[in-house]
Structure 1
Amino acid sequence: MPAVSAARGRPTSNGAGQKRRAGRPSAAVLDKSGITAAALELASRKGYEGLTMAALAKVLDVAPSALYNHVASKQDVLLLVEDHLMSLVDVSAFAAGNWEDAVRTWAWSYRNVFAEHTPLIPVIAVLPVTDAPQTLAMYETVSKGFSDAGFPQERIVPAIVALESFIFGSAYDVTAPEDIFESGSMADATPYFTAAVRSSARDADPSGGRAEANAQELGRPADTAFRMGLEALISGLGALRGR
């Protein structure tokens, strides 16, 4: 006779060779890394609004109730995603002691990570870091690096936020169309801006185009802008730390 599961009230078999019922896997197959990967894939395809618990359960091929055994809410899922992305940001250079080089390495890595996940920037940029171990570990390393470089304690977080604001905006710029500043029929009415745009395009590629062969050597316009802005921030923040 089949035994009755107390938890679900359904017949189960004591036979060692019984196969799991076809269809959705049990909650035991889920883990946080799998949930995180599925959430990232879903957000990349459908954006933040498309990242719902029901949609996530469907991607994972489990019942929503099984998903709730691992994460209590969408907020919990976002914390997993935030923690995963922040763990990819390179903070290793802060151990070397040169603050300027460390900020460069960290900022470029940070921008490149989020350039791959721009749909999540509006959410993660304002998501609390409470109980996110990898995220907090990143901020701890960066904060120590700033402190070791002589920043007063009360200026460390504002400096990090200033850099992050620039980093997130620059991550969007990586995916912007190349003709985003094209003035079109308004070129004659905006001569200074149009000339500046054309000049920056020639500077990016002296041949006058954006040939693929030259892209690696010359760098993308987004990289040029990021490099300029980052160096300005590093110089400005460095000058402020001793005041």
Structure 2
Amino acid sequence: MGGSQAAVPRYSQIVDELRQRIEAGELSPGDRVPSTREITKQWGVAMATATKVLTELRREGLVRVVPGVGTVVESRPSRPVRATRPTAAAASRPGGPSSDASPAAPSDASAGTSSGAASGTSADASLPTASAQASLTTGRIVAAAVTIADAEGLAAVSMRRVAADLGMAPMSLYRHVADKDDLLTRMMDTVIANDPLPADPPAGWRPAIELAARQLWSVFRRHPWLGPAVSVTRPQTITSAMAYSEWMLDTLHSHGLDLQSAFTAHLMLLNYARGIAFNLEAEQEAEAHSGLDSEEWMDAQGPALLTVLTPGRFPALSRLATTGYDLDLDALFEFGLQRLLDGLAPLLSEGSGD
């Protein structure tokens, strides 16, 4: 029973298939291997399973991550690949290749020892050199995590995955970041800091608020994971985001709102942008699982929707369904922003916001 196909985890089967393609030369050094989203489409597995596939290929030294390109076949495998194939029992136990190690977890050390013994080399041969360890910085760790989150979603980010992409042991990351929560806070701080507000705000409360709101929306746009990651009820300590809060408070308070009302207005605008941004990562995941973009998915739902609307219970929706509606999140954001600012205008000293 232990050797049956059913006992082999699905991710191990996909790893075997990709390993064979690499060994056969179908995928040459430098060629891109399927991304996690492509794996979910091609093999019909969940995103977590697809992430395990790439993590295991990186662990075996078969592939590496190239920023801006993706995961590519490594030119020189760091050790024999077949000897490191995990058994079904090893893959399914806690602390296996997919689990996220904590600082005190012994799984990384034991995994390194077992893989070294299996490949006929010492465990130390696969460990990063002292110079590589010395070159590891907080900035490199955060940048690698942001790259993963941008490409595959926040769920793909783990200490183990980031370490694999950097070619480091997971334990080495904990010298720079306390845990995954600390890493996430640093990720958010970094991407927001990359878009600093100007030193001098434009004249008038409305242009100043529009500038900050649009700039924050653009950050959400570039990093789809950011909207769901930011908490309004349990705010993280994000220094770069405090600059946005200060900008909003200073602008609104200097034009007539008390600080309490100014902060409420700031939270309203932040949560508005964040609420629309929630759709960005959700759409990426839905497209990866279905293989259809939003327009293709809507086209596929059209006949069923029209059947429901035909009896005439919803005449306005029926007309809209037949004429069509082009959902543009940027246009949706801008429309709502202007209506929110229209609502604030009577509370502020400049009224029209000139």
- Shared fold (TM-score greater than 0.5)? yes
1:112 is displaced (CA, Å) by 1.8
Task: Work out whether 1:193 is the aligned partner of 2:317.
Answer: yes
What amino acid is aligned across from residue 197 of structure 2 in structure 1?
Answer: V
Distance 2:280 2:201 in 1: 28
Which position in structure 1 is the counterpart of 2:231?
125
Q: Please show how residues 142-157 of structure 1 align to structure 2 within 5 Å.
A: 142-157=248-263
Q: 1:93 to 1:137 in 2, by over 3 A?
A: closer
User: Normalized against structure 2, the TM-score is what?
Assistant: 0.51
Q: 1:40 to 1:194 in 2, by over 3 A?
A: farther
Task: Work out whether 1:34 is the aligned partner of 2:140.
Answer: yes
Q: How many residues align?
A: 205
Q: Provide the secondary structure at the position in 2 that maps to 1:233.
A: helix
Task: Work out whether 1:24 is the aligned partner of 2:128.
Answer: yes
Which position in structure 2 is the counterpart of 1:5?
none
Distance 1:185 1:162 in 2: 37
Which of 76, 91, 98 is the equivalent residue of 2:182?
76
Q: 1:180 to 1:233 in 2, by over 3 A?
A: farther
1:114 is displaced (CA, Å) by 0.9
Distance 2:174 2:139 in 1: 15
Which position in structure 2 is the counterpart of 1:229?
336
1:231 is displaced (CA, Å) by 0.4
Distance 2:324 2:194 in 1: 32
Distance 1:183 1:193 in 2: 12
Residues 52 and 74 in structure 1, CA contact (< 8 A), matched pair in contact too: yes
- Percent of residue pairs bearing the same amino acid type: 25
Q: 1:174 to 1:67 in 2, by over 3 A?
A: closer
1:54 is displaced (CA, Å) by 1.2
1:121 is displaced (CA, Å) by 2.1
1:94 is displaced (CA, Å) by 6.4
Distance 2:200 2:333 in 1: 20
Q: 1:120 to 1:173 in 2, by over 3 A?
A: closer
Distance 1:183 1:134 in 2: 44
Q: Provide the secondary structure at the position in 1 that maps to 2:168.
A: coil
Q: 1:186 to 1:49 in 2, by over 3 A?
A: closer
Which of 71, 74, 96 is the equivalent residue of 2:202?
96
What amino acid is aligned across from residue 128 of structure 2 in structure 1?
Answer: R
Q: Provide the secondary structure at the position in 1 that maps to 2:266.
A: helix
Residues 144 and 165 in structure 2, CA contact (< 8 A), matched pair in contact too: yes
Gaps of 5+ in 1: 1-20, 205-219
Q: Please show how residues 198-213 of structure 1 align to structure 2 within 5 Å.
A: 201=325
Residues 93 and 101 in structure 1, CA contact (< 8 A), matched pair in contact too: no
Which position in structure 1 is the counterpart of 2:270?
164
Range with greater deviation from structure 2 (28-37 or 225-234) = 28-37
Q: Give the CA RMSD over aligned residues.
A: 2.9
Distance 1:197 1:151 in 2: 43
1:123 is displaced (CA, Å) by 1.8
1:22 is displaced (CA, Å) by 7.5
Q: Provide the secondary structure at the position in 1 that maps to 2:247.
A: helix
User: Normalized against structure 1, the TM-score is what?
Assistant: 0.71
Distance 2:242 2:279 in 1: 26
Range with greater deviation from structure 2 (167-176 or 116-125) = 167-176
Gaps of 5+ in 2: 1-124, 284-293, 350-354
1:198 is displaced (CA, Å) by 5.4
Q: Provide the secondary structure at the position in 1 that maps to 2:153.
A: helix
1:41 is displaced (CA, Å) by 1.4
Which position in structure 2 is the counterpart of 1:49?
155
1:191 is displaced (CA, Å) by 3.1
Distance 1:83 1:193 in 2: 42
Distance 1:234 1:56 in 2: 41
Distance 1:199 1:173 in 2: 24
Residues 27 and 62 in structure 1, CA contact (< 8 A), matched pair in contact too: yes
Q: Provide the secondary structure at the position in 1 that maps to 2:244.
A: helix
Distance 1:240 1:73 in 2: 44
Q: Provide the secondary structure at the position in 1 that maps to 2:236.
A: coil
Which of 163, 171, 174 is the equivalent residue of 1:65?
171
Q: 1:163 to 1:123 in 2, by over 3 A?
A: same
